[in-house]
């Protein structure tokens, strides 16, 4: 009997060291997971919750409606019109690629776009068909945001939009989106003060994004009133918070929709009818003289009309202008560069931004100063030969040198009193009044007092009109000349400044305001382009701005008057109440002391001020008015204003100049420089309703070139007034 071998025991697979190792590994994995979960859910919980919420939600900006700009009679100068864009939403296209290809083929027949163009491997998606074909735009849209409409062609005609809309039932995924764009019905006629819009620049993107604006979609004002009143006009965007799926499809609203707030509307002081008449009159005069000379002699010009009693600008023409409708959707680079290269500066509103020699229209300043300072009496007779010789000195004990000063009338005018000097615009008379002459005029007004009277009448400062182009001009003094010219002031400089030449520069608006202040018996009114700001229902909205054009919070004083408050609720002293409109008196020179007295009015060395300020006597303005009236009845404007049925008063100016354009054309001949043409006039003489200034670049004699423009604008104003009266208009 054989002996069986015993069956050996199997060794245990769960040896202690294995169990220990497994436990350590499991514990390590658990610890890692725990730490990671703790980090994700506890330490970074808020961050990831926010990220998840951002993936689930989307904020859609709802564009606002920009305010409309009207003239004083309700004529629209700037508005929003519908622009029709063809859009394709890739997610809504058929699933069959063949059907999609057929839709694209049919759609291409109604657009200016090819089916294929560009390379999607290198070209990013630029909407409105700027770089890709229809198929490429759909392919990119499908890949990145299938539920986001792709604008394949923008600003199509209304007829095409209606066809596309009708066929949208057969073409799923194809639709018409309506986008508001700015439209300027009066275009070139008003563009220099209306302005235009442009995309939000990079410098403002962060600030405006914080206010809810979208840099790649929304636009802001770039020029004119569109820029100055941008905050008033643009309103504020709304927003819609929605839930979206992973493909970007909107599922539902998850918050109350914040509706956009439309911008406020501007009602201007401009009368478009007078604006159109002024523009036509100016263009006709330019064409007439250019044809007469057989060359493009007059290349730019300005006409402004204002109510001197209220400061309301009734017309403002800056020639040449530009077509702001070409900037409605985007700013064409070639057109913009063309405008920038044009030496006539069509983008500049020359009515407020051109710095020009005023010439003889500046003699109104010298006249007021000479009378008020007692330099001349109303009855005093001045000898006015065609030429005088004076000793030009640069410092007190300088023996000087002889210098001749000639009159525009080389034969002279003989003996003239003050009114005759002004009516005939005698240079020699005003040389003497400005700088003095021997025993006849022992002491002239002097450059120091000339400056203070000029500033009192509106020169050498920003007048605060609501236009970003405005510049301040210059009435120099000895300190300015030493700093900027490296030379002392001379008596000859004073003689030249007294007739508006030399270093004196001004804007057409300043010339207008100076004459308006004289016509208004010394009361300088705040010039304004805006009558009021209204909401969509026509209700007047109070608007207050500071001196720099920034919006202030509206408040009211104890009497119920509108005042401006800063961000801390403090009253801002220097403000401009834009709306509601009330004529704003900047100062009354017969009441408010604004004339600085000087110890050394000649300015040889420096202007030394005293602590005393004085006013202007009312009779001074009355006598200057009489001189301006005599200029029309028997002086420099007699021929041009003869037969005018309304009594008018005015002043002409012929200003010598030598700028880059004149130098290039070899016009700057010593002793025979080219000249600009000026005329300013107001009517009716006894109760002025309108004051008009005309400036024509390189026009020559002021009376014969600018005078007819002013006369015809005055006639147009009173004709329109008669028409309104016959129709019962207020």
Site of tokens 């408040």: 555
Q: Answer yes or no: is pLDDT of 121 > 80.
A: no
CA–CA–CA angle 214, 218, 222 (5° rounding): 125
8-state DSSP, 362? G
- Per-residue pLDDT of 357-370, as tens digits, reads 999 999 999 999 99
Pairing of strands 69-70, 265-268: parallel
Candidate from 397-411, 425-439, 706-720 with smallest mean pLDDT: 397-411
CA–CA–CA angle 294, 296, 301 (5° rounding): 130
The arithmetic mean of pLDDT across residues 650-659, rounded, is: 93
DSSP characters for 631-645?
HHHTSTTHHHHTT-S
E strand or H helix at 598, and its extent?
strand 595-598
Return the higher-pLDDT residue of 91 and 622: 622
* Domain residue ranges in the chain: 45-75+185-268, 83-179, 359-526+589-724, 540-580
Q: Is 428 helix (H, G, I), strand (E, B) or coil?
A: helix
Handedness of CA 598, 600, 603, 606 (dihedral sign): negative
pLDDT at 331: 86
Is residue 445 within 8 A of residue 498, CB to CB? The reply is: yes
CA distances from residue 125 to 117, 121, 175 in whole angstroms, order as listed: 12, 10, 19
E strands along 433-536, which residues? 523-525, 530-534
Is residue 505 within 8 A of residue 474, CB to CB? The reply is: yes
Provide the 10 A C-beta neighbour count for residue 392.
Answer: 18
Give the fold, CATH level 3, of 45-75+185-268.
Penicillin-binding protein 2a (Domain 2) (3.90.1310)
Is residue 522 within 8 A of residue 616, CB to CB? The reply is: yes
The arithmetic mean of pLDDT across residues 521-527, rounded, is: 97
How many angstroms from the chain centroid is the CA of residue 224? 2
CA–CA–CA angle 387, 390, 391 (5° rounding): 160
Of the candidates 396, 320, 395, the one whose C-alpha atom is nearest the C-alpha of residue 354 is 320
Q: What percent of the chain has pLDDT over 70?
A: 93
First to last CA, the chain: 145
Candidate from 44-48, 79-83, 188-192, 302-306 with smallest mean pLDDT: 44-48
In b/e form, how buried is each residue of 657-668, taking b as 16+ CB within 10 angstroms?
beeebbeeeebe
How many angstroms from the chain centroid is the CA of residue 286? 25
Where is mean pLDDT largest: 8-17, 120-129, 512-521? 512-521
Is residue 137 within 8 A of residue 86, CB to CB? The reply is: no
The arithmetic mean of pLDDT across residues 177-193, rounded, is: 93
8-state DSSP, 225? H
The arithmetic mean of pLDDT across residues 343-357, rounded, is: 95
Is residue 133 within 8 A of residue 118, CB to CB? The reply is: yes
| Tokens read off for 220 | 């802001």
Q: Answer yes or no: is pLDDT of 35 > 80.
A: no
pLDDT at 226: 96
pLDDT confidence of 697, banded at 50, 70, 90? very high
| Tokens read off for 26 | 């499991």
pLDDT at 220: 94
pLDDT confidence of 46, banded at 50, 70, 90? low
The arithmetic mean of pLDDT across residues 228-243, rounded, is: 87
**How far apart are alpha carbons 445 and 376 in whole angstroms?**
10
8-state DSSP, 94? -
Of the candidates 343, 312, 248, the one whose C-alpha atom is nearest the C-alpha of residue 664 is 343
pLDDT at 1: 46
The arithmetic mean of pLDDT across residues 326-342, rounded, is: 89
pLDDT at 51: 55
pLDDT at 495: 96
pLDDT confidence of 338, banded at 50, 70, 90? very high
Is residue 313 within 8 A of residue 305, CB to CB? The reply is: yes
The arithmetic mean of pLDDT across residues 325-346, rounded, is: 89
Q: Answer yes or no: is pLDDT of 486 > 70.
A: yes
Return the half-sphere exposure (C-beta side, CA atoms, 13 A cut-off) of residue 127: 14
Is residue 124 within 8 A of residue 141, CB to CB? The reply is: no
- Per-residue pLDDT of 132-142, as tens digits, reads 888 888 888 78
Q: Answer yes or no: is pLDDT of 435 > 80.
A: yes
The arithmetic mean of pLDDT across residues 281-294, rounded, is: 95
Where is mean pLDDT largest: 463-467, 537-541, 600-604? 463-467
**How far apart are alpha carbons 446 and 370 in whole angstroms?**
10
Q: Which residues pair with 401 in a beta bridge?
A: 392
| Tokens read off for 283 | 């263009």
Is residue 322 within 8 A of residue 188, CB to CB? The reply is: yes
Q: What percent of the chain has pLDDT over 90?
A: 59
For the question of whether the overall pTM of this predicted structure is more than 0.85, the answer is yes
**How far apart are alpha carbons 479 and 485 in whole angstroms?**
10
Q: Which residues contact 389 (CB under 8 A, 6 or more apart)?
A: 402, 403, 404, 405
| Tokens read off for 644 | 């005018």
Give the fold, CATH level 3, of 359-526+589-724.
Beta-lactamase (3.40.710)
**How far apart are alpha carbons 682 and 688 in whole angstroms?**
6
CA distances from residue 82 to 71, 156, 158, 374, 451 in whole angstroms, order as listed: 22, 10, 9, 65, 53
| Tokens read off for 534 | 């209204």
Of the candidates 703, 17, 11, the one whose C-alpha atom is nearest the C-alpha of residue 361 is 703
Provide the 10 A C-beta neighbour count for residue 127.
Answer: 18
Site of tokens 């900027």: 484
Q: Answer yes or no: is pLDDT of 663 > 60.
A: yes
**How far apart are alpha carbons 142 and 130 in whole angstroms?**
18
E strand or H helix at 82, and its extent?
strand 76-88
| Tokens read off for 426 | 């005698």
Of the candidates 4, 609, 508, the one whose C-alpha atom is nearest the C-alpha of residue 278 is 508
pLDDT confidence of 9, banded at 50, 70, 90? low
The arithmetic mean of pLDDT across residues 224-245, rounded, is: 87
Length of the chain: 730
**How far apart are alpha carbons 385 and 388 in whole angstroms?**
7
| Tokens read off for 566 | 């800063």
**How far apart are alpha carbons 598 and 45 in whole angstroms?**
75
Q: Answer yes or no: is pLDDT of 11 > 80.
A: no
| Tokens read off for 234 | 């643009």
Give φ, ψ of 431 to 5 degrees. -60, -50
Of the candidates 368, 478, 523, the one whose C-alpha atom is nearest the C-alpha of residue 434 is 368
pLDDT at 721: 95
8-state DSSP, 453? H
- Per-residue pLDDT of 250-279, as tens digits, reads 667 677 878 888 899 999 999 999 999 999
| Same CATH fold assignment for domains 45-75+185-268 and 359-526+589-724 | no
- Per-residue pLDDT of 63-84, as tens digits, reads 899 999 999 999 999 999 988 8
Is residue 717 within 8 A of residue 688, CB to CB? The reply is: no
pLDDT at 257: 79
The arithmetic mean of pLDDT across residues 666-686, rounded, is: 90
Return the higher-pLDDT residue of 22 and 93: 93
**How far apart are alpha carbons 456 and 445 in whole angstroms?**
15
Of the candidates 517, 464, 577, 576, the one whose C-alpha atom is nearest the C-alpha of residue 309 is 517
Q: Answer yes or no: is pLDDT of 244 > 70.
A: no
pLDDT at 124: 67
In b/e form, how buried is each residue of 690-718, taking b as 16+ CB within 10 angstroms?
bbbbbbbbbbbebbbbbbbbbbbbbbbbb
Helix axis angle, 427-435 relative to 446-456, nearest 10°? 110
Q: Answer yes or no: is pLDDT of 49 > 60.
A: no
């Amino acid at each position: 009997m054989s002996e069986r071998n015993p069956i050996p025991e199997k060794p245990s697979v769960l040896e202690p060291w294995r169990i220990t190792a497994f436990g350590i590994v499991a514990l390590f994995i658990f610890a890692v997971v725990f730490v990671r979960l703790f980090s994700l859910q506890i330490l970074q919980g808020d961050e990831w919750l926010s990220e998840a919420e951002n993936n689930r939600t989307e904020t859609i900006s709802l564009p606002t409606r920009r305010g409309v700009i009207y003239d004083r009679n309700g004529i629209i100068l700037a508005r929003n019109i519908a622009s029709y864009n063809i859009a394709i939403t890739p997610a809504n296209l058929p699933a069959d690629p063949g059907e999609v290809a057929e839709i694209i083929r049919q759609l291409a027949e109604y657009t200016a776009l090819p089916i294929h163009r560009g390379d999607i491997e290198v070209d990013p998606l630029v909407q409105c068909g700027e770089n890709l074909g229809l198929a490429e735009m759909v392919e990119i849209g499908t890949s990145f945001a299938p539920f986001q409409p792709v604008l394949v062609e923008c600003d199509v005609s209304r007829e095409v939009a209606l066809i596309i809309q009708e066929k949208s039932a057969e073409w799923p995924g194809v639709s018409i989106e309506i986008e508001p764009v700015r439209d300027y019905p009066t275009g070139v006629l008003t563009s220099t003060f209306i302005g235009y819009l442009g995309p939000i620049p990079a410098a403002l993107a962060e600030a405006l994004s914080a206010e809810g604006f979208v840099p790649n979609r929304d636009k802001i004002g770039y020029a004119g009133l569109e820029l100055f009143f941008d905050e008033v006009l643009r309103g504020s965007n709304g927003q819609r918070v929605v839930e979206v799926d992973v493909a970007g499809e909107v599922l539902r609203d998850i918050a109350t929709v914040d509706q956009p707030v439309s911008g406020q509307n501007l009602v201007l002081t401009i009368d478009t009818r007078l604006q159109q008449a002024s523009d036509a009159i100016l263009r006709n005069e330019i064409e007439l003289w250019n044809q007469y000379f057989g060359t493009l002699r007059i290349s730019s010009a300005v006409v402004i009309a204002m109510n001197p009693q209220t400061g309301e600008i009734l017309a403002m023409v800056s020639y040449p202008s530009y077509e702001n409708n070409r900037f409605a959707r985007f700013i064409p680079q070639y057109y913009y560069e063309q405008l920038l290269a044009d030496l006539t500066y069509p983008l500049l509103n020359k009515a407020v931004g051109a710095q020009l020699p005023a010439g003889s229209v500046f003699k109104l300043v010298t006249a007021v100063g000479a009378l008020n300072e007692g330099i001349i009496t109303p009855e005093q007779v001045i000898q006015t030969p065609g030429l005088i010789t004076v000793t030009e000195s640069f410092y007190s004990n300088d023996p000087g040198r002889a210098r001749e000063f000639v009159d525009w009338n080389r034969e002279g005018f003989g003996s003239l009193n003050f009114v005759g000097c002004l009516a005939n615009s005698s240079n020699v008379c005003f040389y003497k009044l400005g700088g003095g002459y021997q025993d006849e005029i022992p002491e002239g007004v002097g450059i120091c007092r000339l400056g203070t009277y000029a500033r009192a009448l509106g020169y050498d400062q920003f007048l605060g009109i609501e236009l970003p182009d405005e510049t301040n001009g210059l009435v120099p003094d000895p300190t300015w000349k030493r700093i900027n010219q490296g030379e002392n002031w001379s008596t000859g400089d004073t003689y030249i400044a007294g007739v508006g030449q030399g270093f004196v520069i001004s804007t057409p608006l300043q010339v207008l305001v100076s004459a308006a202040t004289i016509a208004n018996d010394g009361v300088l009114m705040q010039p304004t382009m805006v009558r009021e700001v209204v909401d969509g229902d026509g209700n007047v909205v109070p608007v207050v701005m500071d001196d720099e054009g920034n919006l202030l919070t509206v408040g009211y004083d104890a009497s119920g008057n509108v005042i401006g408050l800063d961000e801390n609720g403090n009253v801002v002293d220097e403000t401009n109440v834009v709306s509601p409109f009330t004529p704003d008196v900047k100062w009354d020179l017969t009441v408010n002391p604004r004339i600085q007295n000087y110890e050394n009015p000649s300015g040889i060395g420096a202007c030394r001020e005293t602590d005393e300020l004085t006013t202007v006597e009312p009779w001074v303005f009355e006598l200057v008015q009489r001189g301006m009236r005599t200029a029309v009845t028997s002086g420099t404007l007699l021929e041009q204003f003869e037969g005018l049925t309304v009594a008018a008063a005015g002043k002409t100016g012929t200003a010598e100049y030598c700028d880059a354009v004149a130098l290039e054309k070899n016009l700057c001949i010593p002793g025979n420089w080219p000249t600009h043409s000026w005329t300013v006039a107001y009517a009716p003489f006894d109760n002025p309703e309108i004051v008009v200034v005309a400036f024509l670049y390189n026009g020559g004699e002021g009376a014969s070139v600018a005078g007819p423009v002013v006369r015809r604008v005055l006639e147009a104003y009173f004709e329109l007034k008669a028409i309104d009266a016959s129709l019962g208009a207020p």
